[in-house]
Amino acid sequence: MKVLWLFAHPDQRSLSGALKTEGLRALDAQGHRHRVSDLYAMKWNPVVDAADYAHDPADRLLIGEASERAYTDGHLAPDIRAEQHKLAWADTLIIQFPLWWYGMPAILKGWFDRVFVKGFAFGITDPATGRPQRYGDGKLAGKRAMVITTAGARAATLGPRGVNGDLNDLLFPLQHGTLWYTGISVVPPLLVPGADRMTPTAYATAATRLRERLRTLPTTEPLPFRHQNSSDYDDELLLHPDLAQLPPPRTGPAVHYTAPPPPVHG
Amino acid sequence: MKVLWLFAHPDQRSLSGALKTEGLRALDAQGHRHRVSDLYAMKWNPVVDAADYAHDPADRLLIGEASERAYTDGHLAPDIRAEQHKLAWADTLIIQFPLWWYGMPAILKGWFDRVFVKGFAFGITDPATGRPQRYGDGKLAGKRAMVITTAGARAATLGPRGVNGDLNDLLFPLQHGTLWYTGISVVPPLLVPGADRMTPTAYATAATRLRERLRTLPTTEPLPFRHQNSSDYDDELLLHPDLAQLPPPRTGPAVHYTAPPPPVHG
């Protein structure tokens, strides 16, 4: 694998930092190559702004248009271009973060806001069919991604009946709405629960699971998200009603999978 | 109402900016008071860091502990304290943003990451019962919130069968995992779809709907999220299996509602 490892924690001495070191060491030992975007260490700017697109602030900022033009003309901010080049190099994206308010830390959300510009990650049309390429199709198709997240909660509270909601549902905007949207296949997330009361035994278990998930990453079955450009969705991009009712009965994000995803373990 | 209006768009001349102006004017006309946190205009820093907590960088940063201590001792960064004071003043929170990658822009996610510290928004224990206060209970209980979001997508594609997922499911980490977590009641979101191809007629409709939603906000039925400290969840904070099966059959975020939320119109 050629891995781009996105990392978003302010302290290298954290559990997150230890797991990152563990993971990179495992990739080395397994003969893979990696590059790291350690967003705090890089002092990554997460805020989309006109300056990203060499846009004249006197003119109204239409973000889609401005970003697409800057991307096409090569005028995107250099830090954005550097990340796009890293992602182009990689075949695998690791996205590691502590779960803050059931989502990504702002510095990481802003990596996607700034790097995934129009023309690169969305707004892409298949020249042959004229159809928009997204949800399983796009310039980033062929790559895989895996989320690694640490959470204070116990694993069961991030399961189907857990008070916090199921982890795959919480990650749906990232795993489906961002990664799969751009064509990237997403393998099930790795959850490290109980992060604020980690014991040496629990850490050893987490590290073992991490090494194992990295070892099997190339052959792990991705989350079975539906393809937009399939007969599952009609011309209005609505799921066919009979598919939404398939047994077992499902509502919510689950209807956009062809089969239930594997349960998240902790 | 005393309204705190959070706003996260880089250009005041945008559709978002026009709707904000429209909304504030309506609040004035309706006799309500308001304060605005215009995050781009304030150059809000969205990145959690040791400096927020007057934390010695030589010591490992345990964010929960450090933030709680700084909150209790009054050493939180002044910009965080200012936002907490605004929120304490308000009885109603408006959260307005363009939907970027099916979530909040980073600058807004980082408002919650930084302002909602331990002791203020989480990690609160009921002195009488010793139980954690969250999901319908907490220091912010009694307040209401409403999301206003603009999206390029058509409304139906953000509905129950829409390819992008249902808006309430996409907003579950914010509406349930952040706002309801801290005790804030959440009324259904206002979606303004087709944002990148708005016509004068569509804008007039959106502005009318916005004024109407603000007018009825104090009496609108909140989203019927379950209370953690009810008999709906067991001692492990798992939803009782029979409730998860209630007709109509539901999976995903919907199981954490006592009844289906109203459909999102566009």
3-state secondary structure A161-215: CECCCCHHHHCHHHHHHHHHHHCCEEEEEEEECCHHHCCHHHHHHHHHHHHHHHH
Chain A residues closer than 8 Å to B116 by CB: 101
| Percent of chain A surpassing pLDDT 90 | 89
Interval A72-78 mean pLDDT: 96
Q: What is the pLDDT of residue A11?
A: 96
Q: What is the pLDDT of residue A249?
A: 75
Q: Tell me, yes or no, whether A261 lies in a domain.
A: no
Q: Tell me, yes or no, whether B131 lies in a domain.
A: yes
Chain B residues closer than 8 Å to A107 by CB: 46-47, 106, 110
Q: Residue A63 pLDDT > 90, yes or no? A: yes
Torsion of CA A136, A142, A147, A148, to 10 degrees: 160
- Res. B249 pLDDT band, cuts 50 70 90: confident
Interval A98-126 mean pLDDT: 97
Min distance B158 CA to chain A CA atoms (Å): 9
Q: What is the pLDDT of residue B106?
A: 98
ipTM, two decimals = 0.97
Chain B residues closer than 8 Å to A66 by CB: none
Q: Tell me, yes or no, whether A131 lies in a domain.
A: yes
Q: Tell me, yes or no, whether B228 lies in a domain.
A: no
Q: What is the pLDDT of residue A110?
A: 98
User: In which domain, by residue range, is B32 found?
Assistant: 1-222
Residues A156-205: tens digit of each pLDDT: 999 999 999 999 999 999 999 999 999 999 999 999 999 999 999 999 99
Q: Residue B266 pLDDT > 80, yes or no? A: no
Q: What is the pLDDT of residue A51?
A: 93
User: b/e per residue, B125-161, with b = 16+ CB within 10 A?
Assistant: eeeeeeebbbbbbbebeebbbbbbbbbebbbbbbbbb
The nearest alpha carbon in chain A to B232 belongs to: A163
Q: Tell me, yes or no, whether A190 lies in a domain.
A: yes
Chain B residues closer than 8 Å to A62 by CB: 196
- List the single range of A130-139, A206-215, B10-19 with lowest mean pLDDT: A130-139
Q: Tell me, yes or no, whether A189 lies in a domain.
A: yes
CATH number for A185: 3.40.50.360
Min distance A29 CA to chain B CA atoms (Å): 28
Q: What is the pLDDT of residue A15?
A: 97
Q: What is the pLDDT of residue B243?
A: 87
Q: Tell me, yes or no, whether B177 lies in a domain.
A: yes
3-class secondary-structure state, position A98: strand
Q: Tell me, yes or no, whether B210 lies in a domain.
A: yes
- Res. A251 pLDDT band, cuts 50 70 90: confident
Residues B31-69: tens digit of each pLDDT: 999 999 999 999 999 999 999 999 988 999 999 999 999
The nearest alpha carbon in chain A to B180 belongs to: A164
**Residue B6 token pair:** 């959070």
The nearest alpha carbon in chain A to B104 belongs to: A109
Min distance B61 CA to chain A CA atoms (Å): 6
- How many structural domains are present in chain B? 1
Q: Which residue from B10, B107, B255 is facing A50, i.e. has the nearest CB? A: B10
Nearest to A117 by CA among A87, A152, A157: A87
Whole-prediction pTM: 0.97
